[in-house]
Structure 1
Amino acid sequence: MTSIAGTSQWEELVTSALLGTDRRTPPDAVLTPRKDPPVALLDAAAVHTVRRRAGLLPAPAAARPEPAPHDARPQLPAPARRRLAQLLADRSAPSHAGGRRGTAPDLTELLPQWLAAANEHGYQAPPTVLPALLDAARARTDLRPQALTFAGPRGLWLARLNPEWKFALRGTSWGSPRTESGGSSVLPDAGDAEAVQRLWEEGLFAERVALLAAVRVRDAGAALALLTATWATERAEDRLMFLDSLRTGLSDADEPFLEQALSDRSRNVRATAAELLSALPHSALARRMAARAASCVSLDRSGDGDAAIGVEAPHECDAGMQRDGVAPSPPSGRGERSWWLGQLVEAAPLSTWPGRLGGRTAQEIVALPVADGWGEELHAAWCRAAVRQRDAEWSRALLGAPGNPPETGPGTSSLAERAKLLATLPDGERAVWVAKFIAAHGLSEAFQLLGVCAVPWGEPLGRSVVDALDIAREAGSYPWSFSGVMGLAERCLDPAEAGRLELLTATPDETEGAAPGAGGYWSEAFQRLVSTLRLRAAMRVELGGVTSPTPPLPETED
């Protein structure tokens, strides 16, 4: 074993190396007349390294891990297996020189789509790709749900053996038994009440979160019973995570528990409970919020006889309001009264307003003028309420006509808020609205709106995007301004559009006023788009999906 004196000398060597031999002279024992101090230091460090390693005693062998669980899902077809290896290998490929992407598809961006398609077919992940798959999911949180589903029970088993993959333990699936070592390779079957109860009482926090979420999907009442039984003994930060799982399958049956949570000692838990209760239009909290909001907003006929909305914001935030989730202190730069008003209106059921405002529809209400400059605050709160309550009628009213300039819309000019409102509409209606918006305003403001549209983009959305890109190309502007939309198009356009886009891959003649070289860049961008669409079609064929009208693309390299 290394002696105490040897340990002390090693520490002196380390100190000299960190500070530099000109500032901290190495120990006398390592200095010789024929060697410079830096060389003597390195020689001494090499000798001490060998001594320290020689003094180590072998550690007892660790217990052999249990065998990996069986995965009964069908295996990938050979072409799809090769494609997956290519997608995972390209994950760490260097970026294109000078930032120019060229014409080759970006395989990294196709990996999420490939995983989603593979999971739809119910394939199992080949064991040889599991390490690379878990590494990819560790680096990109957007991959994790699909990657962990595809990795299955063997992926979770493997993740337990590497601390860098511990994130995978937060997301598991049903079906495999509990291990003899006391851990859980995957969650127990929902019908096995004894195993569920044992894991809930003995499992790690990540396992318990995953268990509660999975039970909630299968049996909302059983999940609530689990949570109720141990709620009083849970830590505040754990209670918050557990409470968040009630968003799935939220119903009036959860109200008694959530009402009790309004008195929780944790402010964050109280706020989350209040948010969940406000999403239940028949809850007692929703009725209380409706009464408070209605006392602040009413019809105002004091002007020239035309109806308008009058607002009298709250003058205080009393204890009852705070218990129901109203935060008393506004953010910097925000007035207290407008802050309280917005929270009350956001939490009140939208069904409050037709009766309160003369029997008008949502569209008629948002079209009414609002007195004393309160319109922006009131409409913003209604937008948040429509998103929280998933109310499509109010979302349509607040979005207004897609052809109207965004700054003059009835609800909000914020594209981020508009995207949230769009997400409450059915897929087809959402796509039509965005297509009309693009036709009226172009692509420059459409990126966030496109992000909430269902994939693949069908008609008329896909055609609207392609037409807008063609208009930008004809105008002679650089494609870099539309790189975000072009990237979305590569992932979201229907692969059947590849044939129609072939005409746009040619380099156009440069027109007067066009940016120098823009035509060549546009040609590259459209070639990459066509290649990507054909590669996506090939992927579908390889996975056994719908046969694509375009031929499979050969293996590509960047």
Structure 2
Amino acid sequence: MNGAPAGEDTTAPEHSWEELVTTALLGTDRRTPAHAAPGRPAPVALLDAAAVAAVRRRAGLRPARAAQRPEPAPADPRPALPAPAAHRLTALLADRSGGTGSGRRGSSPDLMELLPQWLAAANAHGYAAPPQTLPALLDAARGRTDLRPAGLAFAGPRALWLARLNPDWRFALRAAPGGGAALPDAADPEAVRRLWQEGLFAERAALLGTLRARTPALGRELLASTWAAERAEDRLMFLDSLRTGLSDADEPFLEQALGDRSRNVRATAAELLSALPGSALAERMAVRATACVALDRTGNAPAIAVEAPPECDTGMERDGVAATPPAGRGERSWWLGQLVEAAPLGCWRERFGGRTAEEIVALPVADGWQGELHAAWCRAAVRQRNAAWSRALLGSPSAPEAGGPGAVSLAERAKLLAALEPAERAGWVAGFIATHGLSEAFQLLGVCAVPWAPPLGRAVVDALNIARDAGSYPWSFSGVMGLAERCLDPAEAVRLEALLAIPDEREDAAPGAGGYWAEAFQRLVTTLRLRAAMTRELAPPTPPEPPRAVVQPPDAAG
């Protein structure tokens, strides 16, 4: 071979590549290279042999078949972003941290925390993502699952096209209905039937979800056609999709599912039926629950008497009552809670002599059953999204116990608030903050509509101001501060300007607390102004007004 190292026997058999790699890993001190020329250092002989073997390996490769070129990216018919908004998106995606790295938040806005709000606003306007931003947008959504729904909606069809070319972005295909595959039109029954019978599970689940959102009856009929042949885990997932578009028309199918051989399927069917106040299951649960809870008039004042069920019979189990309680719970109280939770709330008005929800909740409960009974009513109000009962169980936000008579935790109160209209919800949380401050309000603020209504925004700002005047550090309120940056109405920036100055520190104040508070308020004001600018940039351009015709005054001489 031309160019072979001096002294090498070119007629010797080719060195095994695996043998050379093994020798290199072990070291030439422990293993001498095979067919090494006499007098040459072992490391040099190994490298010479590897060079020759590498050339031979490359020369012996057969040309690979040319890969098929990818299809062009699909068109995105949505209008393009205004130029200022496109520049803003690039800046938001380029930022990775607004913090200082020392545990303090600093005074600069965290741009990545504003990205979800920006994406929601851009989607509301119906804009298309600039093509050059798609890689960075997909990278951001890959790292933060909370960005994926809005991010992929904004990225549009081209995100799926890119995800098929880059394994790092495959999450976009998993998040898309049917793994990104095109679903048949509901108006084509043959294509729908074929995909339902022959498609992959992800495709079938996506098809059923789409049909339930548009034509619930068709989705239910499709599921019923193959129900008996489905696997138990698939039946559970498919049944859960009936939450979308749930109506009384689904009751016969759900009643059939109550006899399913899978306990989880039976429990899900029972839960769905209990969300239909007019269903036969809801009526059966109402009979059982009202038999356990009654009005007691034997005392000086009316009260509620409770007699928990003595057993969990087969009918109760068929209707979704779990017979075995969790550790630490008594059986009878466990059964009672499930019966009351599943009973339609409307049955209690008749049971308690026409009393309203507020009047029923205000009644004393005998023998220590109040906590269990009210907690079950809370779960029923959340499941049935009953505003009247949610309002009654929440009670007054200024109550000394920091909650209503039936709210057992902040998480429960947050769920009850979700059943109220946004304005009422914001007003209740504002009253809660005015009475109890911010220390327990974080979960409640999370269920309020964005931007916060003016009363709620003022309550939060006033509570932060009170906390600053108390002389403590702002770090214990960093969670509320973060929410305020994203949820306060940008118009509140004007009121906050008075809080930017460093206040005179009290003698009992933490050292330097005033400066830290000024820094935190500066960050809040800067972020609110930035959000206002983002809103202006996303606004569609105003079309120019048509020129007005100039009307000449009549000639006086005429």
For the criterion TM > 0.5, the same-fold answer is yes
Give the structure 2 partner of residue 63 of structure 1.
68
How far is 1:275 from its partner? 0.8
Deviations 1:264-323 (A, max 9, x none): 232222211111111001111111111111121112234x33211111112222222222
2:396–2:403 CA contact under 8 A, matched in 1: no
SS of 2:472's equivalent in the other structure is coil
Give the structure 2 partner of residue 554 of structure 1.
none
Task: Give the whole-Å Cα distance in 2 for the aligned partners of 1:334 and 1:8.
Answer: 67
Task: Give the whole-Å Cα distance in 2 for the aligned partners of 1:332 and 1:370.
Answer: 25
Task: Give the whole-Å Cα distance in 1 for the aligned partners of 2:254 and 2:14.
Answer: 62
Map 1:288-367; keep pairs closer than 5 Å.
Answer: 288-302=284-298, 304-367=299-362
How far is 1:7 from its partner? 4.4
Deviations 1:171-193 (A, max 9, x none): 447xxxx9xxxx86443444344
- What letter corresponds to residue 73 of structure 1 in structure 2? R
Change (3 A) 1:45 1:474: farther
Identify the match of residue 243 of structure 2 among 242, 247, 269: 247
Give the structure 2 partner of residue 441 of structure 1.
436
- What letter corresponds to residue 257 of structure 1 in structure 2? F
How far is 1:70 from its partner? 1.8
Task: Give the whole-Å Cα distance in 2 for the aligned partners of 1:219 and 1:343.
Answer: 32
Tell me whether 476-485 or 45-54 shows the greater mean CA deviation: 45-54
Change (3 A) 1:408 1:105: closer
Cα RMSD after superposing both structures: 3.3
2:471–2:509 CA contact under 8 A, matched in 1: yes
Change (3 A) 1:295 1:9: farther
How far is 1:392 from its partner? 0.2
Give the structure 2 partner of residue 373 of structure 1.
368
1:544 aligns with 2:539: yes
- What letter corresponds to residue 253 of structure 1 in structure 2? A
SS of 1:328's equivalent in the other structure is coil
Task: Give the whole-Å Cα distance in 2 for the aligned partners of 1:451 and 1:316.
Answer: 40
2:473–2:517 CA contact under 8 A, matched in 1: yes
Given the two structures, how large is their TM-score scaled by the length of structure 1? Answer: 0.86
Give the structure 2 partner of residue 473 of structure 1.
468
Aligned residues: 528
Identify the match of residue 276 of structure 1 among 268, 272, 276: 272
Tell me whether 386-395 or 315-324 shows the greater mean CA deviation: 315-324
How far is 1:337 from its partner? 1.4
Tell me whether 367-376 or 191-200 shows the greater mean CA deviation: 191-200
Task: Give the whole-Å Cα distance in 2 for the aligned partners of 1:546 and 1:483.
Answer: 37
Give the structure 2 partner of residue 101 of structure 1.
105
- What letter corresponds to residue 68 of structure 1 in structure 2? A
Give the structure 1 partner of residue 7 of structure 2.
none
Give the structure 2 partner of residue 550 of structure 1.
none
Give the structure 2 partner of residue 135 of structure 1.
139
Change (3 A) 1:477 1:385: same
Map 1:32-111; keep pairs closer than 5 Å.
Answer: 54=58, 59-90=64-95, 92-93=96-97, 95-111=99-115
- What letter corresponds to residue 455 of structure 1 in structure 2? V
1:540–1:546 CA contact under 8 A, matched in 2: no
How far is 1:65 from its partner? 2.9
How far is 1:528 from its partner? 0.6
Change (3 A) 1:8 1:508: same
How far is 1:521 from its partner? 0.7
Deviations 1:501-541 (A, max 9, x none): 11111111111111111111111111110110111111111
Change (3 A) 1:9 1:95: farther
- What letter corresponds to residue 81 of structure 2 in structure 1? L
Deviations 1:414-441 (A, max 9, x none): 1110000000000000011111111111
1:153–1:186 CA contact under 8 A, matched in 2: no
Tell me whether 236-245 or 110-119 shows the greater mean CA deviation: 236-245
Change (3 A) 1:53 1:122: farther
Task: Give the whole-Å Cα distance in 1 for the aligned partners of 2:56 and 2:358.
Answer: 79
1:263 aligns with 2:259: yes
Map 1:146-545; keep pairs closer than 5 Å.
Answer: 146-172=150-176, 185-302=181-298, 304-406=299-401, 409-544=404-539
Change (3 A) 1:132 1:406: farther
SS of 2:305's equivalent in the other structure is strand
How far is 1:443 from its partner? 0.7
How far is 1:486 from its partner? 0.6
Give the structure 1 partner of residue 10 of structure 2.
none
- What letter corresponds to residue 74 of structure 2 in structure 1? P
Deviations 1:109-149 (A, max 9, x none): 11110010001100011222222222222222222221121
1:263–1:270 CA contact under 8 A, matched in 2: yes
How far is 1:408 from its partner? 6.4
Change (3 A) 1:78 1:438: same
- What letter corresponds to residue 249 of structure 2 in structure 1? A
How far is 1:495 from its partner? 0.7
Change (3 A) 1:327 1:165: farther
How far is 1:246 from its partner? 1.2
Unaligned 5+ segments in structure 2 are 1-12, 543-558
How far is 1:47 from its partner? 7.7
Moved over 6 A (4+): 2-5, 11-14, 42-49
How far is 1:165 from its partner? 3.0
2:485–2:528 CA contact under 8 A, matched in 1: yes
Task: Give the whole-Å Cα distance in 2 for the aligned partners of 1:12 and 1:244.
Answer: 60
- What letter corresponds to residue 165 of structure 1 in structure 2? W
Which structure has the greater CA radius of gyration? 2
Change (3 A) 1:334 1:78: same
Change (3 A) 1:348 1:123: same
SS of 1:98's equivalent in the other structure is coil
Give the structure 1 partner of residue 119 of structure 2.
115
Tell me whether 202-211 or 470-479 shows the greater mean CA deviation: 202-211
- What letter corresponds to residue 444 of structure 1 in structure 2? S
SS of 2:68's equivalent in the other structure is coil
Given the two structures, how large is their TM-score scaled by the length of structure 2? Answer: 0.86
Give the structure 2 partner of residue 551 of structure 1.
none
User: What is the aligned-residue identity percentage?
Assistant: 71
Task: Give the whole-Å Cα distance in 2 for the aligned partners of 1:501 and 1:52.
Answer: 74
